[in-house]
């Protein structure tokens, strides 16, 4: 089961606005975050419990009782195509998928890296590489000793770097890329692909990032289609209860059926298929196919 978010975690997620060059949230995203923050930060005049539920827990239930609330509480970007009501994989789940190896012991992340490394090259990088290779091939006699000392090393080979060396080294360097993106992520989102494939996307501000996918087609076959059902149960307030903002209204929110491909906290996580590492992504750009998706680092 996916770990339940604490009040502190939700507030921390809501305090950060997703930011990525070339990508935009819905205009109402900031307002919706403020609404959730208000619900979670309203002070209670007493540490009341009703039916065994503390006021803080009631606030969290209220905040997560809608698909959008659940989405924003996890710190996800709110876009036109967001898969509202679904829960993203944990970092541990992402790491397991990234480090899954094939028969030659190359990780999924390392294999994907070999396909994307060239997409952050720039012309000056290629020229610098050719010069370096030429010098290393034995043409150093064309330069004086002083010129060789003053010669600067070639610039970095794009944002991705270049996979080279033995398998263990490539795997290790690919893992550095994983943490480089995870530790600097400023944009995370969930969206759907055709045939009930859920995609989780993580990007840094420049637009470079990673994707994971989860095939939910088999899950959906056994799930009735329809909107999210949220049940609000009336709970008479006891006379000795304090005037808590939510509890005083006698409300308890409970998600009883998240049947629109959503993730109700109902213990179904153990039945869900694993997340698969789908690959790396580059910044959004015009005429990407024509340009070979090459970006300046």
| Domain ranges within the chain, ordered by starting residue | 7-120+159-281, 122-156
In contact, 70 and 190? CB cutoff 8 Å: no
Q: Which residue from 82, 100, 261 is spatially nearest to 187, judged by alpha carbons?
A: 82
User: Residue 60 — pLDDT band, cuts 50, 70, 90?
Assistant: confident
Centroid of chain to Cα 160: 19
Q: Say what the pLDDT of residue 65 is.
A: 83
More confident residue, 204 or 159: 204
Q: What's the predicted TM-score (pTM) here?
A: 0.71
CA end-to-end span of the chain: 39
Question: Which helix (H) or strand (E) is 60 found in, with range?
Answer: helix 55-63
Residues in CB range of 224: below 8 A, 6 or more apart: 259
d(C-alpha 273, C-alpha 257), whole Å:
20
pLDDT tens per residue across span 237-277: 333 444 344 333 433 333 334 444 566 544 344 578 999 99
Residue 175: the pLDDT is 98
Cα separation, 235 vs 256, whole angstroms: 17
CB 7 within 8 A of CB 246: no
Q: Which helix (H) or strand (E) segment is 253 a member of?
A: strand 251-257
């Amino acid at each position: 089961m996916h770990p339940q978010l604490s009040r502190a975690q939700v507030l921390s997620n809501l305090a950060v606005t997703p930011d990525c060059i070339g990508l935009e949230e819905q205009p109402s995203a900031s307002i919706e975050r403020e609404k959730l923050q208000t619900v979670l930060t309203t002070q209670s005049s007493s540490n009341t419990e009703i039916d065994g539920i503390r006021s803080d827990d009631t606030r969290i239930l209220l905040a997560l009782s809608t698909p959008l609330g659940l989405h924003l509480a996890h710190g996800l970007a709110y876009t036109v195509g967001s898969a509202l009501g679904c829960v993203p994989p944990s970092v541990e789940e992402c790491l397991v998928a990234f480090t899954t190896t094939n028969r030659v012991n190359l990780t999924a992340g390392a294999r994907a890296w070999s396909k994307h490394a060239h997409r952050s090259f720039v012309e000056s990088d290629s020229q610098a590489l050719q010069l370096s290779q030429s010098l290393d091939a034995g043409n150093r006699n064309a330069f004086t000793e002083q010129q060789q000392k003053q010669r600067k090393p070639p610039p970095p080979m794009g944002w991705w770097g270049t996979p080279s060396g033995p398998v263990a080294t490539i795997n290790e360097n690919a893992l550095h890329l994983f943490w480089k993106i995870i530790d600097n992520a400023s944009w995370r989102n969930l969206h759907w692909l055709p045939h009930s494939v859920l995609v989780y996307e993580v990007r840094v501000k420049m637009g470079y990032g990673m994707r994971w996918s989860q095939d939910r087609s088999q899950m959906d076959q056994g799930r009735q289609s329809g909107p999210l059902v949220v049940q609000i149960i009336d709970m008479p307030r006891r006379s000795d209860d304090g005037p808590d903002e939510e509890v005083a209204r006698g409300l308890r929110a409970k998600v009883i059926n998240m049947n629109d491909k959503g993730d109700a906290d109902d213990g179904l996580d153990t039945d869900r298929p694993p997340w698969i590492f789908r690959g790396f992504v580059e910044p959004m750009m015009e005429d990407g196919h024509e340009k070979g998706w090459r970006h300046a680092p």
